[in-house]
């Protein structure tokens, strides 16, 4: 008796259209794996030296100095604006309007609420990058946490001294404490049209001044005041670009 076996079908050779795993790997690492050897050398070198060569130099000689100088400029602009309105004080309680103090919201203060602290943070972090000091970087983070709490206490005192409605209006307009918000860097078309209209009128700021207790001006009309009782024709106070 003859055994008849079913012939096993031979698999057809792979078509040229389907890529083999070796071909896809060669596209990533090179035909002979030269690319992965290059990456391997860079990683081992970076681990032994403790830094990535190109990225390290960009951080130390480009990003660090730019951040450091930017922080110094912002701090100077903030201090100059405070001195202009006689509102500079290192204490958490602001100078009241009866003693010449005021809420400063013009120029750099129209982008961030605490530019002096922000500039200091930028400068300290930039110096940490330039000097490659991990201790300076950690202390800069500690400084950030400190001034974050201090600025929070300052804003509470600003509300108590100048009025919650007055300062809340400024906070709603300038949302960034240490970093400018997107809407302040790139204002909407409606806000830009308002700015252009003010410039055409010869006035590039909108001024809101809070009324002091016990002070009154009989020459002011009710039409010159808004619903919150703040004079819209003052020369000090809220300065919005």
Which long-range contacts (C-beta less than 8 Å, at least 24 apart) are formed by 184-192? 184/110, 184/111, 185/111
- Grouped pLDDT means (10 residues each) for the chain, 241 residues: 56 53 60 78 83 82 95 96 86 85 89 96 96 94 96 93 90 92 78 52 43 40 41 38 39
Question: Quick one: which of 170, 169, 180, 59 has its CA closest to 119?
Answer: 180
- Per-residue pLDDT of 121-141, as tens digits, reads 999 999 999 999 999 999 999
Give me the pLDDT at residue 25, please.
Answer: 58
CA 206 to each of CA 73, 104, 160, 180, 231: distance values in angstroms, whole numbers, following the listed order: 25, 13, 23, 20, 11
- Measured CA to CA, the distance from residue 62 to residue 71 in angstroms comes to 14
Which stretches of the chain are assigned E, i.e. beta strand?
206-208, 238-240
Percent of the chain clearing pLDDT 90 (strictly above): 36
- Measured CA to CA, the distance from residue 72 to residue 121 in angstroms comes to 10
The 10 Å Cβ neighbour count of residue 121 is: 23
Give me the pLDDT at residue 205, please.
Answer: 42
């Amino acid at each position: 008796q003859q055994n008849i076996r079913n012939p096993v079908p031979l698999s057809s050779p792979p078509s040229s259209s389907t890529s083999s795993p070796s071909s896809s790997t060669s596209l990533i690492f090179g035909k002979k794996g030269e690319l992965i050897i290059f990456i391997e050398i860079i990683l081992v070198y970076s681990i032994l030296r403790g830094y990535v060569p190109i990225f390290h130099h960009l951080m130390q000689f480009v990003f660090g100095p730019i951040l450091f100088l930017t922080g110094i400029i912002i701090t100077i602009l903030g201090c100059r604006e405070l001195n202009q309105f006689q509102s500079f004080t290192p204490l958490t309680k602001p100078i009241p309007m009866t003693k010449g103090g005021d809420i400063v919201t013009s120029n750099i203060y129209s982008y961030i609420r605490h530019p002096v602290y922000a500039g200091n943070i930028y400068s300290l972090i930039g110096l940490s990058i330039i000097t490659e000091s991990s201790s300076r970087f950690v202390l800069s983070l500690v400084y950030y946490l400190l001034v974050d709490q201090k600025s929070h206490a300052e804003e509470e005192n600003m509300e108590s001294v100048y009025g919650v409605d007055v300062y809340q209006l400024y906070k709603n307009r300038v949302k960034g404490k240490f970093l400018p918000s997107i809407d302040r860097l790139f204002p909407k078309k409606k806000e830009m049209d308002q700015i252009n209209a003010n410039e055409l009128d010869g006035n590039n700021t909108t001024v809101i001044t809070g009324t002091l207790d016990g002070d009154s001006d009989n020459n002011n009309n009710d039409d010159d005041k808004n619903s919150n009782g703040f004079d819209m024709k003052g020369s000090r106070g809220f300065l919005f670009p």
